[in-house]
Amino acid sequence: MIDLKRVKKSYKSLKVLNDISFSVNEGEIVAIIGTSGCGKTTLLKCINGLEKIDDGEIIINGENINRKNFNLSKLRENIGIVFQQFNLFPHMTVKQNITLAPLKVKKMSQNEAEILAMMLLEKVGLLSKMDSYPHELSGGQAQRVAIARTLAMKPKAILFDEPTSALDPHMKMEVLDVIKKLKDDKMIIIMVTHEMKFAKEFADRVMFLHNGQIIEDDIPENLFNSPKSQVVRDFLKKLEED
């Protein structure tokens, strides 16, 4: 379970997150939408411990991750994050990119790590690319490898930060199809996205973030069809016009 209580985060005088509170239960999928610069990426980084909050609490599986001496490395084994950019090591093959963390962090044997990598590559439809290098992959393929690399740590939750924003429509579908399959794994998924159709179909809940605050948090049907806030109505109307 992920539980945020009155979380605040600023960069100097700029308030990025302002009194954020919500909970996500095991197996729940939450889509976060909103305009650029509203704090979505910062929120994910705080949950993963990549950014330290100024105030409030982030409780993951009963532990406050912001307490002194908390083991952030252990946290990141359980809370994976996939960014817009794939961040694959260019000098390593696809297989090496996926096996690196299981070998170094999980202390798996080479054989165990390679079997896991092959299973995950099959899951994302890229077993044939096992010995390829990142520069030999399309953007969609590289993002699917990034997802496989995150899954190799066997996390309890995955955070996605607009994983399709840098891809063309065909590549987007490749990646979104892989993410859809993760629903069967019953892990927590929190996904920042501009893909409204995907959010409607895939998420259990949709949160609308505006100026560092959660304006609405509801099931997709309610938020998209009958939003309570004028801010959300204006946002959705502009999307339709575009």
Q: Give tens-digit pLDDT for 126-158.
A: 999 999 999 999 999 999 999 999 999 999 999
pLDDT of residue 22: 97
Q: Left if phi > 0, otherwise alpha if psi is -120 to 50, otherwise beta: which for 136?
A: alpha
Q: Is the pLDDT score of 68 beyond 90?
A: no
Across 97-128, b (16+ Cβ under 10 Å) vs e yields bbbbbbbeeeebeeeebbebbeebbebbebee
CB 192 within 8 A of CB 44: yes
Q: Is the pLDDT score of 76 beyond 80?
A: yes
Q: At which residue do the structure tokens 């891809």 appear? A: 167
- Looking at residue 128, what DSSP letter applies? G
At residue 166 the predicted structure's pLDDT band, cuts being 50, 70 and 90, is confident
Mean pLDDT along residues 192-220: 95
Q: How many CB atoms lie within 10 A of CB 181?
A: 12
Distance CA 101, CA 215 (A): 38
pLDDT of residue 152: 96
Averaged confidence pLDDT in the chain: 94
Q: What is the CATH number of domain 2-241?
A: 3.40.50.300
Q: Is the pLDDT score of 84 beyond 90?
A: no
